[in-house]
Structure 1
């Protein structure tokens, strides 16, 4: 079984690298792979169907021509608008954001890094002991304030608590 397992993994990588039109980035979590074998009617060839629950195929992304889609790719992720809402009142430390929003530290860190890469927030590090890091909205991030206010107004008018 282990040799078959190794051969299938080697086959996956061989096919992947031999294919000229490789459009996918393949991540195989070998330990979680499930291999299902089915035989063809003539029993001469074994057809392997590989189902991997952690196999992620990502197509090479090209930017969408739709501006709304582009905007939602940035601000439509969970917690992003709430982080921006919290930062509208001014710069905040990581621990303040984490406490106010009841979000995990790992996810908050991930979202802040993404927002920093998009130019929505800036990260200020102060040379103090213990280290102090504050996050603040950039002008690009502050420009969404009217949208957040509209969402808040709509939700207070139409959503029941």
Structure 2
């Protein structure tokens, strides 16, 4: 959620470069299927990143997962922000609040309340899509079973290995 708020605020920024960058991120993320993001995070990122940024495959997948759904949630929050009447912004400005306090104390709580139904829908979608991450673990599990067969000492336990991998 914090990443989606940051993307939403960047998209509404008065700095054109920041707004375009955030808009491009959201548009690019929404045009790529989720499974492609997971595969890219699991396979392409470990190859493309420099050696000093190496990590395990699961952390790359979680980062891709988080970025993907933060972009979707930022669109939900952007809709909530756009539905707030202009008078609320002006009232917060009339109180003498700084721009960050206006956003934090007046505008964002109303935007969260307005976008709550769509946010719950996104949370349900995130919960359902977490099972796709298991595909990444399946590659590691299958590779481990293959390595056990190649070792030779596990050849007489082939049935147990097949049952374990298939479960």
Tell me the TM-score normalized by structure 1: 0.24
Which structure shows the higher helix fraction? 2
Structure number with the higher strand fraction is 1
| Alignment TM-score, normalising by the size of structure 2 | 0.23
Greater radius of gyration (CA)? 1
Q: Which has the higher contact order (CA 8 A, sep 6+)?
A: 2
